[in-house]
Amino acid sequence: MRWRSYLSHLECSRCGTTYEADVPANVCVCGKPLLSRYDLPAMGAAVGRDEIAARPPTLWRYHEMLPVRSAENVVGFGEGMTPLVPAPTIGRAIGVPGLLVKDEGVLPTGTFKARGAAVGVSRARELGVRRFAMPTNGNAGAAWATYGARAGLDALVAMPLGAPRVTRREVTLAGGRLELVDGLIGDAGKVAAKAVAEGYFDAATLREPYRLEGKKTMGLEIAEQLGWAVPDVIVYPTGGGVGLIGIDKALAELRQLGWLDGATRLPRLVSVQATGCAPIVRAFESGAAESEPWTDGATVAFGINVGKALGDFLVLDAVRRSSGTALAVEDAAIVDMQRRCYAAEGIFLCPEGAAALAAVEDLRARRWIAEGETVVALNTGTGLKYVS
């Protein structure tokens, strides 16, 4: 496979300021996240979707629209192309017989965080980064420490005490430095920021641009797996929101390439949170462009316990532009859906994925999802990471 990235520059998601892409970058001078921009016309002239579809089934099949310039810098385990699993039994039970679950639980480290880590760590290594620091609710830190070990980079991971226990072990077994924090992810952020001030590269959510590009591949895969078409609705459990922003970015780029068949309308994007921590839902309902910090968040879906996301305005914009919605579900509904889905389908959802399916049930009951619509729900990780 001839390898080429069409990455051209970075662009601020808020003020539009542009930056050179081939030096380590964090946020814009205005403080907002940077987005990777590609020369899509040149890419479209050089490669077609059939050629991509014939490549090995990993997320690197999309390397033209990923930031890593040289194949030698790829740090990976063959991640990507997770199955889009039909879930007809639970689907019928909740009124959406055509329900599809994109099962990210089969990825290395058991969650979709592997996508962000694969691309983010590979690109960091390519740009000469030697060590990085980040706060995490567990899964991102586990993935970055794991990929960091394979890349030979030093990881410092700050994690709340309440994060799933296995994620601590993943960090330390991978040789990362683990800082446990008695608090929430915002408090862990302060610990990681201290390490950044001491010279670690800042790999916090949306404070480096390339994790987003890795997560974007979920959107690319959904379209490819549906035969270069889009579903009516995509439902995503939202913490920092990177996955939803990435899916939105993926579909926009595919549309710009002219690769989406008959897509006059992009899917309605649904942002799901837990009632115990729902800052984006609250902002959506009040019509605000940004969220107010949610203090003392608490939910069994630990990966979406994020009180204030740097990219909240991007999530809200993507949801509104797509005529989507944002809603919160109760922990009881999450746990109940985990049981029902495992028993009905043999799919062991993580609590965050169960939140997405519980939201589908809710939206169908309210007729927000119409009969016969195609719905893709993201199961962002395996339930096995949460058995303790």
Binding site for ligand PLP (CB under 6 A): 111, 113, 139-140, 237-243, 303-304, 350, 352, 380-381
237 binds, among ligand PLP, Zn ion, none (CB under 5 to 8 A by kind): ligand PLP
Residue 217 site contact among ligand PLP, Zn ion, none (CB < 5 to 8 Å, cut-off depends on kind): none
**What's the min distance (Å) between Cβ of 28 and Zn ion?**
3
Strand boundaries in the chain, DSSP class E: 7-12, 18-19, 34-38, 84-86, 100-103, 131-135, 154-160, 177-181, 201-202, 233-237, 268-274, 325-329, 375-379
Rounded CA gap, 144 and 208, in Å?
Answer: 13
Measured from the CB atom, is 122 or 136 closer to ligand PLP?
Answer: 136
Report the partner that residue 384 touches, choosing among ligand PLP, Zn ion, none (CB closer than 5 to 8 A by kind): none
- Chain residue at closest Cβ approach to ligand PLP: 303
Phi first, then psi, for residue 157 (nearest 5°) are -120, 120
Least Å from the CB of residue 310 to ligand PLP: 10
CB 25 within 8 A of CB 32: no
The contact set with Zn ion (CB under 5 A) reads 12, 14-15, 17, 28, 30, 32
117 touches, from ligand PLP, Zn ion, none (C-beta below 5 to 8 Å by class): none
Binding partner at 216 among ligand PLP, Zn ion, none, C-beta below 5 to 8 Å by kind:
none
Q: How many CB atoms lie within 10 A of CB 48?
A: 12
Nearer to ligand PLP, 11 or 312 (CB): 312
What's the min distance (Å) between Cβ of 115 and ligand PLP?
10
Asked if residue 217 lies in contact with residue 250, where contact means CB atoms within 8 angstroms, the answer is: yes
Q: Annotate 326-351 with three-state secondary structure.
A: EEEECHHHHHHHHHHHHHHHCCCECH
- In whole angstroms, the minimum distance from the beta carbon of 318 to ligand PLP comes to 12
Measured distance CA(224)–CA(53) in Å, rounded: 8
Which token pair is 154? 């030093």
Cα distance between residue 188 and residue 241, in whole Å: 18
Could you tell me if 206 and 240 are in contact, meaning their C-beta atoms sit under 8 angstroms apart?
A: yes
Minimum CB distance to Zn ion smaller for 12 or for 234? 12
Beta carbon of residue 311, minimum distance to Zn ion (angstroms, whole number): 13
The nearer residue to ligand PLP, 62 or 236, going by C-beta atoms, is 236
The residue with tokens 């994690």 is 159
What is the torsion angle, in degrees rounded to the nearest 10, for the CA atoms of residue 94, residue 100, residue 104 and residue 110? 50
Please identify, using beta-carbon distances, which residue of 81 and 309 lies nearer to ligand PLP: 309
Report the sign of the C-alpha dihedral through residues 80, 7, 144, 311, in that order: negative
Minimum distance of Zn ion from residue 18's CB (angstroms): 10
Which residue lies nearer to ligand PLP by CB, 246 or 257?
A: 246
Residue 5 or 382 with smaller CB distance to ligand PLP? 382
Q: Which is nearer to Zn ion, 14 or 165 (CB)?
A: 14
**What is the total residue count of the chain?**
388
Q: How far is the CB of 380 from ligand PLP (least distance, A)?
A: 3
Residue 249 interacts, among Zn ion, ligand PLP, none and using kind-specific CB cut-offs from 5 to 8 Å, with none
Residue 33 contacts which entry, Zn ion, ligand PLP, none (Cβ below 5-8 A, type-dependent): none
Nearer to ligand PLP, 160 or 381 (CB): 381
| Nearest CB to ligand PLP, comparing residues 64 and 104 | 104
* Exposed/middle/buried for residue 370 (C-beta within 10 Å: 0-12, 13-18, 19+): exposed
Q: Report the nearest approach of Zn ion to the CB of residue 128 (Å).
A: 24
CA distance 39 to 374: 32
Beta carbon of residue 80, minimum distance to ligand PLP (angstroms, whole number): 16
Residues 6+ apart with CB under 8 A from 142: 109, 111, 113, 136, 166, 167, 170, 171, 174
- The token pair that represents 246 in the structure block: 């990435």
Shortest gap between Cβ of 101 and ligand PLP (angstroms)?
13
Q: Name the binder of 15 from Zn ion, ligand PLP, none, CB < 5-8 A by kind.
A: Zn ion
Return the one option of ligand PLP, Zn ion, none that residue 324 interacts with (CB less than 5 to 8 A, by type).
Answer: none
Q: Which does 307 bind (CB under 5 to 8 A by kind): ligand PLP, Zn ion, none?
A: none
